Amino acid sequence: MSTPPGARRRPQGTKDRRSNNTPSSDAIPDEPEDQTSRIISPLDIVRIVITLIGVSCALSYYTTSGASLYWNFDPWFTDPAKLAHWWQGPLQLTPTQLTTFDGSDPNKPIYLAINGKIFDVSAGRHTYGPGGSYHVFAGRDATRAFVTGCFLEDRTGDMRGAEEIYIPVDDPDEDITSAQKKIRAERDRRKAKEKVQQEVQKWESFYKTSKKYFQVGELVGVPEYTGEPPKLCEPAQKGRPKRKNQKQHESPSAAPGKPVH
């Protein structure tokens, strides 16, 4: 059969290009893999955390015989009073304002102050509330009473002269010069003031580290203490150490027939 005029003959060994446009069954690629299946969503993380917390609480409840869900750890945020204070922020109260938190109003917390720090002692309402053994401290800065032990007489923050409780009473029969007495008195007073400060810090630390009580703020507007310092209360005065007894305690006792070196 003759080729029509003007038609071009395809070279031998070549294929129709149109055939290349039709993909074969072997050349069809697989569907792309869903990459999102490998990504952990935030919701998955929340579920994992909640599950771990639940397992931890269950184990704690079992191992502590139902005593605690937190492995005997008492986080502050589980206490509604502490959480409310955290939300409210630190308080600043004057001595007059502090007196309204003495437990007389059952709808108010009970506060006390020591060394200018205010603590919430509502958890011990039976102790610090009306009729309680330590109600004298409620609604006040009774720092002096914590040192002297005179709860009724020393409900004040005025610490002037409180160091007397640690200063020994002089022995009238002691043979010592006036200059020596003066030097010793200055030394004794300095040491006594250090002891007072240590005692105050001890009580302040007690309330700060307590699991029941916690600090809520600071005392402000405290008037300057002027005039004559408070006298040492009678029980504290009677409890002062006697220098004569101290000397006997410090001196070695003499054995019969042997001098003391």
Q: Within this chain, do residues 133 and 51 fall inside the same structural domain, yes or no?
A: no
Q: Within this chain, do residues 141 and 65 fall inside the same structural domain, yes or no?
A: no
DSSP 139-165: TSB-HHHHHH--TTTT-SS--TTGGGG
pLDDT value of residue 66: 63
pTM of the model: 0.62
The reply to whether 32 falls in a domain is no
How many domains would you assign to the chain?
2
- Please write the tens of the pLDDT for every residue from 141-168: 999 999 999 999 999 999 999 999 999 9
pLDDT value of residue 9: 55
pLDDT value of residue 28: 53
Task: Tell me the pLDDT of the chain averaged across its residues.
Answer: 80
3-state secondary structure 64-108: CCCCCCCCCCCCHHHCHHHHHHHHHCCEEECHHHHHHHCCCCCCC
Q: What is the pLDDT along the chain (261 residues), one digit of tens a residue?
A: 455 555 555 555 555 555 455 555 555 555 555 555 567 888 888 888 888 888 877 776 666 666 566 655 666 556 666 666 666 768 899 999 999 999 999 999 999 999 999 999 999 999 999 999 999 999 999 999 999 999 999 999 999 999 999 999 988 878 888 899 899 999 999 999 999 999 999 999 999 999 899 999 999 999 899 999 999 999 999 999 988 766 554 444 433 333 333
Q: What is the DSSP letter of 213?
A: -
Q: Within this chain, do residues 89 and 58 fall inside the same structural domain, yes or no?
A: no
Q: Within this chain, do residues 69 and 116 fall inside the same structural domain, yes or no?
A: no
The reply to whether 260 falls in a domain is no
Contact present, 121 and 208 (Cβ < 8 Å): no
Q: Within this chain, do residues 107 and 150 fall inside the same structural domain, yes or no?
A: yes
